[in-house]
Amino acid sequence: MKHLLSAADLSYEDAILVLDTAKQLAAATEQGVGKLPPLRGRTVVNLFYEDSTRTRISFEAAAKRLSADVINFSAKGSSVSKGESLKDTALTLEAMGADAVVIRHNSSGAPHRLANAGWISGGVVNAGDGTHEHPTQALLDAFTLRNHLRNGEGDLKGVNVTIVGDVLHSRVARSNVLLLNTLGAKVRLVAPPTLLPYGVEDWDCEVSYDLDASLEGSDAVMMLRVQRERMNAAYFPNAHEYSNRYGLNVTRMNRLSENAVVMHPGPMNRGMEISADVADSQRSVIVEQVANGVSVRMAVLYLILGGSESM
């Protein structure tokens, strides 16, 4: 694995390897060994063009637990805010000897460009690009699902996952549809028609406009963040109507099967796509998702930075 740009880059074997590696790294961390040594002397750059404290901290913790040197490069207050191009920033990082660049960018495809334009030689990890993909989020979601529904083993064959909300602008949904399919799960997207991408009927998933009709049979419901500003562009009339039709409240949650879990990639709009009661309920695995994020990102960095066969 040289880069991780899209969840589509991962074959079934790759995906299982990442999840199994994450499991081992999580176990090693839990045993309280402190820092693990494999990336000692390697440099990981977190290149963040968008504010995302959560994802940046998660990658930073992952790299540090593997003993890598971490450089955080955020757009604000750096040469980027002075108009430096992605190319020049990349050339600078290359000259500094970055072994891997973790990039979050508001432009879809920026990580792809960084990996393929010949600007740098190190590995590139997509930490979320525009409305395209967020593959490590999909990996941590799969890891969480596997822990809850498959005892932390194997794949997700036969698991029904319902993803609800602003699919159109969601990089989380795109990556999840790809990875969950690779792992054998069945995906259903639920959203108002305005928030589904053109051509979604060609994706490997079911599509529904009706949340109530989609709850039964779901093993997991993943609620996507919906920005209130979207109503200004007429994607839906107002927050109240959105919440009534597509929000997950306690009544809806109680209709889920006994073992079904509720997920959210964060940050949540409590009261909008998810009610506070649901977010804080027993079924919610939202906090666990955050913890699993570090393990999965450790696995990705380990595998990209030439973690060899043995650990």
Q: Is 42 in the site for other proteins (CB under 8 A)?
A: no
Q: Is 71 in the site for other proteins (CB under 8 A)?
A: no
Q: Is 108 in the site for other proteins (CB under 8 A)?
A: yes
Nearer of residues 53 and 85 to other proteins, judged by Cβ:
85
Q: Is 291 helix (H, G, I), strand (E, B) or coil?
A: helix
CA distance 271 to 51: 23
H or E segment at 64?
A: helix 53-65
Q: Is 197 in the site for other proteins (CB under 8 A)?
A: yes
285 touches 261 (CB < 8 A): yes
135 touches 9 (CB < 8 A): yes
Binding segment toward other proteins, per CB under 8 A, in 12-20, 68-76, 100-108, 146-154: 100-108
DSSP 232: G
Nearer of residues 148 and 174 to other proteins, judged by Cβ:
174
One of 2, 54, 157, 255 is an active-site residue; which one?
A: 54
Q: Is 181 in the site for other proteins (CB under 8 A)?
A: no
Question: Is 171 assigned a catalytic role?
Answer: no
How far is residue 16 CA from its own chain's centroid?
16
One of 134, 169, 188, 264 is an active-site residue; which one?
A: 134
Q: Is 92 in the site for other proteins (CB under 8 A)?
A: no
Question: Is 21 assigned a catalytic role?
Answer: no
CA distance 128 to 169: 12
Binding segment toward other proteins, per CB under 8 A, in 28-36, 70-78, 128-136, 255-263: 128-136
DSSP 311: -
Question: Is 55 assigned a catalytic role?
Answer: yes
CA distance 32 to 73: 29
Q: Of 33, 117, 250, 276, which lies in the binding site for other proteins, with binding defined by CB under 8 A?
A: 117
One of 55, 89, 144, 182 is an active-site residue; which one?
A: 55
Per DSSP, which regions of 118-169 are E strands?
123-129, 160-164
Nearer of residues 3 and 42 to other proteins, judged by Cβ:
3
Q: Is 202 in the site for other proteins (CB under 8 A)?
A: yes
- Selection from 268, 265, 261 nearest residue 247 by Cα: 268
CA distance 143 to 139: 6
Question: Is 82 assigned a catalytic role?
Answer: yes
Distances (CA, A) of 81 to 76, 86, 99, 304: 6, 11, 24, 29
* Interaction mask 72-91, other proteins, x per CB under 8 A: -------------xxx----
One of 56, 65, 104, 188 is an active-site residue; which one?
A: 104
161 touches 215 (CB < 8 A): no
Question: Is 113 assigned a catalytic role?
Answer: no
- Residues in the site for other proteins, rule: CB under 8 A? 85-87, 105-110, 112-113, 116-117, 129-133, 171, 174, 197-200, 202-203
Enumerate the active-site residues. 54-55, 82, 104, 134
